[in-house]
Structure 1
Amino acid sequence: MNKRKVAVFVEGQAEYVFVRDFLCRWYDYDSTLLGIECFSLRSDLYNSEPYPFGDRKSVNYYQIVNVGNDRSVLSKMLKEAPRLQNVGFHQIIGLSDMYSDLYHVQTKERCIDVAVNQKLIDECQNSLNASSQRDLLSYHFAIMEVEAWILGMYQFLQQIDSSLTPQFIMSRLQIDITADPEISFYHPAKVLDEIYRLAGRQYGKHLNEIASITSQFSKDDYARLLASGHCKSFNEFIKDLVAE
């Protein structure tokens, strides 16, 4: 019997894997508490992704939908909302990166602009408010990318290569990896790639790359980030996602 039945629409592979693996860790891989089904949405067709966990009768059932385009997350979730409500979903959540072509046009100087962040957040909220399913809907931006949340748990880098200490990264790249990445890095995925290159590796948002990172995170890692005061957008998204 479901206590919560939640649909999560995400923009791409990095967000899809991050949410999927977070939920598994958060619920301790307990299939009585957690059920997940993952889909990619292409031309309004749901294609099953090979990562089911638990079942639809689990206490918390999540359907994660990879839309594959940052500009389509909002429109797809709004379009699907009446159907999802009719089949018993309690909540419909959208997640995309704030970093986008639209953001570049708004800022021009390629820097984090709090006013632009709020403008885009408000525009999304206005669209949600106009929906008859507005009580079920919420939308979140990872600021600036979901990789900022990953960098917020930077300790994992020394599992990639023991040399990737905050001191070494600072000496080579002049990047303070201990700072709040949400307010420090305009393009977090690029920062992560620059750090990886110090160890002779690359990061390009590919499925295997993001999965190799999230597989290293524990529930304690996520809890520490939540308690750190960094990555406010992560805190807001997780509180909505798991309703705690």
Structure 2
Amino acid sequence: MCITAVKSVRRKTGLNINSTVTNYAWQRWTDMSSGSFIKEAELRESVWRVCSEFLSRPLTIGMGMRMFNLDPYSRPLTIHVVGATHNETLGARTTDMDELGRMFPGHQGLEVVMVGPEVVQGPIMRPPLRAFGPRGKVYISAYKGFYHQFWEEVVEKGEAAKPNLVVGFHPGFDGQEVNQDWLATLLLLRDYNIPTLFTMISNEELQSTLHMFMELEMDVKDTGSNPFSSLKPEHLPKSPNKAPIYANAHYVSFRGLLEVKEEEEQN
């Protein structure tokens, strides 16, 4: 098809078909159009880098379930994604978390609720489950608003299940004073003793987040490099000359108040 189009353009433009330079130029154009210049290994690596950004989210959720010893084979589980933005919800489909289900074949049912003021309207914008979802399936829903509002307006009224795990993908704690909406959410997660996992794009952001969690007396459970980090390099718009960053490169998990743990150890 590409070759036919090239010949047609040659006729219309009146280019000398016998010209060595012209032939070379048209051959390169044909190669570029067909993709034949791409080596298979390079193509695989490029495709995987793009796919890793998408797969990083469900795989990181699965890692969080393992960290907190949540067993999807013994009971259905509910995961809330807090601070969800267009990154997670733009063009999102109801099958986007199927890879999470494949991590636990034969599970009792998994529900993922995307919550955030920047949630984008789409197929996943549907009510959360009140009862258990179908066995072996992953049900995705979304709520546009702050998490503490979602808790008060939906969870406390029994219109959504309480979470077994809360995950936040690079919420952007950059060392500055946390805003009131995030503070309300963090205190809620801490005071209700909810297993929580956050990811960061850099070690610098990780360290500032740890400092903030220490000030809030969070009981930090684990921290480190995420084995399921995105492999797609990106540049921050405000820092184009800095080294590239990778989505979900680092993580920190916490549960409840640090003081609760200390009191239990003393007893």
Task: Mark yes or no: TM-score above 0.5.
Answer: no
TM, length-normalised to structure 1: 0.36
TM, length-normalised to structure 2: 0.34
Name the structure where helix makes up a greater proportion of residues.
1
Larger Rg: 2
